[in-house]
Structure 1
Amino acid sequence: MNKYFSTKTSIAVFAAPALLLFTVFCVYPLLPQLWMSLHNHNGFQSLGFVGLDNYLSVMKTSSFWVSHKNTYLIVAISVLIGLPLSMVFALFIDVQTPRLRRFFKSAAMFPAILSVIVVSQIWVAFYEPNWGLFNAILRSIGLDGLTRSWLTNEKTVMISIGLTFLWQYIGLNAILLYTGIKTIPKNYYEAALIDGANAFQVSTRITIPLLQDVMKYVLILSSLGSMAFYAHVRVMTAGGPGDLSRTVIYQMYYTAFDTSQFGKGTAIAVIFILQCLVISFLIQRFVAREKVEF
């Protein structure tokens, strides 16, 4: 039986349905967009074949590179700050009593289930320069010089939006990691406690190493989710001031729908898809390459 299922033919037969669905729903819809990106298109009809001119044109604009810088800043915030905090939160939830554990799990999921519009409007109020929460706190402790117009200052706007995104989804990642923690057999922890390991040693030498597969999934989810960052920017700043808070997805939307240059907009979309594929490949290739088995 094992010999039969290990043949290339049997593998191809079982993989064919999934491959067919992937081709129909993921690959095929990209082909018209790829074709559109090679034309001067107004959204209704092609005005002529331009080849790679759309790609060269969008890459010559400063907004294209500003949007990429902003997008990768959000990815960095999500991965380098968000994931470690999510892990700490997941470990914190795991050591609580059942009653407190239920409370913290509900609290962690609450921001993620809220509408992006609601979350963004709440944080816009927090950042309001005259009566917003953050400036009010700074004034109350005598740090008036640190008050800012957070969403109109070019030095703080992207970090401010990034913190909003981080707050909304850090709990969701923590719950995913906590779920992974609960799948680790308890005998590993019992053996560690018998050997005299403390909580830090248990976390760094047992829990985190055995969470490699879950951490890879959360890393991909966080990275690609951050790459597709759009709604918070749309609600909080509309890409402003100027174009300083645009992300790649926002720049694609602006180019296609606000300026009716659908050829250039789809060119940005194709570049974005290629970047996502590269990031996904790199994570799959270099993160947790060996499967953990209990």
Structure 2
Amino acid sequence: MNKYFSTKLSIFVFTAPALLLFTVFCVYPLLPEIWMSLHDHDGFRNLGFVGLDNYREVLSTPSFWTAHKNTYLIVGISLLLGLPLSMMLSLFMDVQTPRLRRFFKTAAMFPAILSVTVVAQIWLAFYEPNWGLFNRILQSIGLSDWTHSWLTEKRTVMPSIGLSFLWQYIGLNAILFYTGIKTIPKDYYEAALLDGASFAQVCLKITIPLLQNVIKYVLILSTLGSMAFYSHVRVMTAGGPGDTSRTVIYQMYYTAFDTSQFGKGTAIAVIFIIQCLVISFIIQRFVARGKLEF
């Protein structure tokens, strides 16, 4: 019994500083925002308590749901396209010579260290309808009918912005996967090769299963990072045309700062935080639940 309580006491003593810091810097700052979301606030003055009216009005606004559709489209692009491509890139780097591996690692990280503004300006030039790279390529191969004004057409604007986001961070995820691959003991690979396993079988039966914890981390990082998608939209389209390229974060910014409805803006922020917590819980609960031991 004394051993049981001493163990629990030790856990509390060592975790208390981290819990205190988390409470002070993460939990406590949310409380004033939740309180503001229950008021009619213009950023300078509290115009009165309105209860849940801000939430009701936000949830009944069509642009709020358009923003959610766009946000989860970016999440889908990041997860369904980005993660498999990052995994393939990491596997490709792992089988290269040391010199080529250094080159590909540097090339993969380069977009991620660039400023979002720089990346957005590069892709704005690619998408320029008159002299942009993409339309010029289509024209040069006889596909002029496929050219678009990529960032001003409703059906192409979000995939176009999502592609720029994907390009910037696909290499970073590949480096994370590659780092995880290097922690896997070589004995497994040597045994598989002696048994005559192909490269694809080694990847599917050894590498990917033993990367489950890294995959979970990258999945959370990519999902929450995609949900917080804002800067590319701000630079490339400013939410246009109309409100068709707004994301949840952009909708929150627009509501709070452009229309001076800080109560509604913070209501959007609270809803967004709840969604992120739920998604994080689902990933933690259902992805890579088994204990991994080498």
TM range (shorter): over 0.9
Q: Residues 126-205 of structure 1: matches in 2 within 5 Å? A: 126-205=126-205
Give the whole-Å Cα distance in 2 for the aligned partners of 1:60 and 1:6. Answer: 53
* Structural RMSD (CA): 1.0
8 Å CA contact 1:127–1:133 kept in 2: the answer is: yes
Alignment partners' CA distance in 2, 1:38 and 1:282: 28
Distance (Å, rounded) in 2 between the aligned partners of 1:66 and 1:291: 40
Structure 1 residue 8 displacement after superposition:
2.3
Distance in 1 separating the partners of 2:292 and 2:94? 21
If the length of structure 2 is used for normalisation, what is the TM-score? 0.98
Opposite residue 235 of structure 1, the aligned amino acid is: V
Does structure 2 retain, via aligned residues, the 8 Å contact 1:4–1:10?
no
Equivalent position amino acid for 1:84 in 2: P
Query: What TM-score, normalized to structure 1?
Result: 0.98
Shift of 1:293: 1.2
Moved more, 9-18 or 223-232: 9-18
- Listed one character per residue, the Cα deviations across residues 14-36 of structure 1 (whole Å, up to 9, x for unaligned) are 21111111000000000000000
Equivalent position amino acid for 1:181 in 2:
I
Q: Shift in Å at residue 290 of structure 1? A: 1.0
Tell whether 2:124 aligns with 1:124. Answer: yes
Instruction: Name 1:14's counterpart in structure 2.
Output: 14
Deviation of 1:44 after TM superposition, in Å, equals 1.2
Would you say the 8 A contact 1:213–1:291 is kept in 2? no
For residues 162-188 of structure 1, give each alpha carbon's deviation from its aligned partner in whole angstroms, at most 9, with x where no partner exists. Answer: 000000000000000000000000000
Unpaired runs of 5+ residues, structure 1, are none
Shift of residue 10, structure 1, vs aligned partner: 2.0
Letter in 2 for 1:120: A
User: Which residue number in structure 1 is paired with residue 252 of structure 2?
Assistant: 252
Give the CA deviation at 1:5: 8.7
Find the aligned partners of 1:45 and 1:28 in 2 and give their Cα distance: 22
* Counterpart position of 1:213: 213
Deviation at 1:291, TM superposition (A): 2.3
Residue in 2 that maps onto 1:242: 242
Aligned 8 A contact 1:75 1:226 in 2: yes
Determine helix, strand or coil for the equivalent of 1:150: coil
**What count of residue pairs does the alignment treat as equivalent?**
292
**Greater Cα shift, 13-22 or 212-221:** 13-22
- Aligned pair in 2 of structure 1 residues 229, 6: CA closer, same or farther (>3 Å)? farther
SS in 2 for 1:35: helix
Q: 1:292 corresponds to which residue?
A: 292
- Residues 260-288 of structure 1, C-alpha deviation per residue, up to 9 Å, x if partnerless? 00000000000000000001000000000
Asked if the contact 1:5–1:11 (Cα under 8 Å) also holds between the matched residues in 2, the reply is no
Task: Give 1:82's aligned residue.
Answer: 82
Please list every run of 5 or more consecutive structure 2 residues that lacks an aligned counterpart in the other structure: none
Per-residue CA distance 1:215-261 (angstroms, 9 max, x = gap): 00000000000000000000000000000000000000000000000
C-alpha contact 1:37 1:262 (8 A) present in aligned 2:
yes
Q: Say if 1:5 and 1:217 are closer, same or farther in 2 by CA, change over 3 A.
A: farther
| Same amino acid, percent of matched pairs | 81
